[in-house]
Structure 1
């Protein structure tokens, strides 16, 4: 196994060093081939997502395939400009020179993707890697085997292995890949696994992006549009059965409106994800029986206001609302990653900062308010990856905003231009004239110091 992985990395390095991936025309051609391959296998992708996670056609297109197309379209449109050397200013002290930033691909990239959005989170980073001129090795999640198999077949039928390859397997394969001296690592997954990835990367000083998670709060203030807040929180939370890294993990609501808000949250949960709705359309499954057990252990029957049902054999957990939750409760200790929504309340606005700061920096934060001062207080005083005011999730669906965490929720960002930049080294180049040679640097005198002071101070 280790020899196989090493041979693959060596073959990709040799292909990268051949210069084949560097021209923008080549990169564009590969992205076109990738899009055509996805179009051709779209039905198989949808079918695999249905088998692995019970995703319906609409949700699978919205959050997986359509997302991929959107990212690809933006990068194809702009990559000529992004890839071109960028001329910079040169200071007066460098008279005669010109300065540039060259956009250099890293080389062999390793993309390790998770199971919750198994197609999108494997292929979307690949777009950035290809656009930037790299080769790529994709390690899909073993917990979604059908989607992993489709990705493997799609890539194998489209690209040579020395350019883009898929390596399937469990943790031992990931460990073997991380032991190789690749040129860039892009990891999406849990915080604990992310620490191990970073530890391995440090051994070779390999640059990396970590897309992790955290307990992302949804804050609802007294002046918020409660109906719209409840509607958008329910949609963002229970999509993909809550198995979304940027899903609202818990709600922090003003005490004066908690009962009214609870009523609306239950109303929209029934409307969008109630038993009758779930009977008519596909509602995603929990990825494994162990995760069902983990979620069941978070339930406190004394605090459940809606839902609470689960079935281990079918890997189904009912959308669940828990009210009057406290920070010490089990459901508030770690990221939930499932369809359980705890609701806490606060009395004074300054408590919002204190409560959110009790947990590591979240990947996302959602604030529902009509008050600009409250908006400024939260956005300027809390550290989090990104988020929305008066919405959930939508900030990650635009190619014009970087998506990534901060602190324990991640390192680095991507989407749109940031995907291209993530897989690109910005190489600084100064081109000096040979027509003349300024004598200042060769003359360590008081007059030289005087001249430099005039220039620099």
Structure 2
């Protein structure tokens, strides 16, 4: 079956009918679907591990911790907190509307495994479009969600550009997208005054421990001072060998490149004449196995391909500056990053970094771990993304805060109706200003 604009429109119509029936709004439906998600990841853990192994050669431990574990935590937070999240929030009213009461009601939006479960918790119908470059994972999601979820309200559409285009042509109430550098560029600024093995290991974990650099929050490059660059390179070399051995292409703990197209794209970065002689570690590759070793490049030109396009792979350029403060301009001259990381013990510099760098999220003295903190929102800013999710933030992201004001039939003051006498005008002005004394003066004609 061809999934074209007509098929997409039919899908949206079907989903809206289900949503408009009101079934997704009940607490019981939302909880049943979150429980179905939990049951799915528990019962199908082996299949999930195998799908990611097939797509990326992702180590099972990484899948269990970063994929399954984090998603289970998200579900458990929702199961615990959802009833409270759904409760209307009382709002204050003013003397202008007296007597009255008001509340803010979380109202679901109809849209498109962390943000999906948040959207479901918010009472939405959901269409999920997985990435076509991870075919095993995409196929598994389509299969499992069809088996475990309420398909009248939760659907998966597989495909590539044509299918995505057809979906985007439809009228959605909310779209959450994670994509490449044309939508959002990932940046890391690692500026360290005291480089230690701990710092190097944390950079390695964020860069090569996340799908070998193929993750939206893995660092694209490092910025450090010219004086400390040699120490950083040496520390990274030692710790990379400790993690992946002397021949990383044979390491079972290093994910492969997701596709031949992406392998060719990364190879093009390394073959660029402008980065000739800039590789200070790694660079080995095996096209037959779609493997590229962790690679460090020092002081590559800023107009080189690797610095002007999203990397999304195991290549890590290291940019040097004379003073750490120069990193602010370097980062802010580009598109706003999804994540920016800083390594330093200088409290003043931490404050300057937080104040001056605009990014989806910031992390001091580590990488990627902010992703697992459900009390923090996760999302981009500007070109790096729209909206945020995680825990309550997932619920909020797919919820419209509907304002509701309640009044009775008493207290119908004549001053709001024409004719507008001087007394009425003075009284209304005082009411709008919240000036109780002025209201009294106006009503009684006191000067």
CA shift, 1:319, in A, is 0.2
Equivalent position SS for 1:186? coil
Equivalent pair of 2:244/2:251 in contact (CA under 8 Å): no
Larger Rg: 2
Q: Residue 345 of structure 1 is aligned with which of 307, 317, 320?
A: 320
Distance 2:265 2:379 in 1: 26
8 Å CA contact 2:344, 2:365 repeated in 1: yes
Q: In the TM superposition, what are the counterparts of 1:135-284 in structure 2 within 5 Å?
A: 135-192=125-182, 212-222=183-193, 224-239=194-209, 240-275=211-246, 279=250, 281-284=252-255
Match for residue 41 of structure 1? 44
Equivalent position of 2:437 in the other structure: none
The aligned length equals 424
Q: Output the CA distance in 2 between the equivalents of 1:49 and 1:12.
A: 29
The answer as to whether partners of 2:249 and 2:292 remain within 8 angstroms in 1 is: no
Name 1:290's counterpart in structure 2. Answer: 261
Is this contact kept in 1: 2:128–2:155, CA < 8 A?
yes
Residue in 2 aligned with 1:118? none
The DSSP-based 3-state class of the residue aligned with 2:77 is: helix
1:124 alignment counterpart? 114
* Partner SS, residue 189 of structure 2: strand
CA distance in 1: counterparts of 2:196 and 2:357, whole angstroms: 23
How far, CA to CA, are the matches of 2:163 and 2:337 in structure 1? 30
**Structure 1 contact 54–283 (Cα < 8 Å) conserved:** yes
Kindly report which structure 2 residues correspond to 1:305-454, keeping only aligned pairs within 5 A, or say none.
305-443=280-418, 444-454=420-430
RMSD: 1.8
Structure 2 Cα separation of the partners of residues 177 and 302 of structure 1: 45
TM-score in terms of structure 1 length: 0.89
**Counterpart contact for 1:138–1:165, Cα < 8 Å:** yes
CA distance in 2, matches of 1:393, 1:292: 24
SS in 2 for 1:82: helix
CA distance in 2, matches of 1:23, 1:267: 55
CA displacement, residues 233-260 of structure 1 (integer Å, 9 cap, x when unaligned): 1111112110111111111112222211
Provide the rounded CA distance (Å) in 1 between the counterparts of 2:191 and 2:396. Answer: 35
Cα deviation code 1:410-436 (max 9, x no counterpart): 111111111001111111111112222
Shift of 1:175: 1.6
- 1:190-238 deviation per Cα after TM superposition (whole angstroms, max 9, x unaligned): 243xxxxxxxxxxxxxxxxxxx53141222132x353322221111111
TM-superposed deviation, 1:183: 2.6
Contiguous gaps of at least 5 residues in structure 1: 111-122, 193-211
| Aligned pairs (5 A) from 1:48-59 | 48-59=51-62
Does the 8 Å CA contact 1:215/1:359 hold for their aligned counterparts?
Answer: no
Residue 8, structure 1, aligned to residue 11, structure 2: yes
Q: 2-side partners of 1:79 and 1:324: how far apart?
A: 49
SS at match of 1:252: strand
In 2: Cα distance, 1:22 partner to 1:92 partner: 34
Per-residue CA deviations over 1:12-33 (Å, capped at 9, x if unaligned) read: 2111111111111221111112
**Cα pair 1:230 1:264 within 8 Å, conserved:** yes
User: Residue deviations 1:302-332, cap 9 Å, x none?
Assistant: 0111100112221111100111233223321
Work out the CA distance in 2 between the residues paired with 1:392 and 1:383: 17
SS at match of 2:165: helix
